[in-house]
Chain A
Amino acid sequence: AQKVTQAQTEISVVEKEDVTLDCVYETRDTTYYLFWYKQPPSGELVFLIRRNSFDEQNEISGRYSWNFQKSTSSFNFTITASQVVDSAVYFCALLSYNTDKLIFGTGTRLQVFP
């Protein structure tokens, strides 16, 4: 069975703080993909990153970075020097190559205060 767990329901930080959003996944498949999406107050989900199960390299994109560790089935997302515009709900998602089924976690609401 596939499952994505985002244990942090809500996180509040002050601007310029660093914040890490946790994502733990479960799958029996050896080939799978992991994603992060952002849902700003406007409501439309925005794709942030994709990782396949064979690529454990961490990635950095500006203030965003992602840490993929197969040993702990985790795909965590860090925002460095957070800004008010980062306030949103962030979703982690898992897609199994064998089933084409894309499932999401329950999301983490991030509030960044000035």
Chain B
Amino acid sequence: DVKVTQSSRYLVKRTGEKVFLECVQDMDHENMFWYRQDPGLGLRLIYFSYDVKMKEKGDIPEGYSVSREKKERFSLILESASTNQTSMYLCASSLATGAEAFFGQGTRLTVV
């Protein structure tokens, strides 16, 4: 089974902190994605990556950056956390273009 693992299930951070959310997949997938999920807004794409060291902006990249130094790991970085970044963050990976995406269990981040 494909496994997408997010490093934390729950996180509480202070405003202004630098926050790292880690995601690891174990199936050699090419594509990886970061989303945030908010009530009434569904899943919104923050960034995605189709190869190592490659990244593309999604629909809401402001305030975020990403890193993909190894194929299996895709990190989401909040350079200076703000309260409006309190959300559920979901990581996903897919084998290739057009393949189904597999999701991690999510990280609920609270910024206080």
Q: A-side interface residues toward B, CB under 8 Å?
A: 6, 9, 33, 35, 37, 43-45, 47, 50, 52, 91, 93, 95, 97, 99-107
Contacts and interface: CB of A to CB of B under 8 A. Distances in A.
Contact-size category for B: 20 to 34
A100 B48 contact: yes
Listed residue (A6, A45, A95, A103) with the most chain B CB atoms within 10 angstroms of its CB: A45
A33 B50 CA distance: 16
B1 interface: no
Nearest to B2: A47
B35 A104 contact: yes
B40 A106 contact: yes
B43 A104 contact: yes
B45 A44 contact: no
B94 interface: yes
Secondary structure of the B contact surface, majority rule: strand
A47 B41 CA distance: 19
Nearest to B49: A100
Given A44-B103, A104-B35, A97 B98 contact: yes
Contact of B105 (A44, A97, A100): A44
A47 B40 CA distance: 21
B102 interface: yes
B43 A35 contact: no
A100 B31 contact: yes
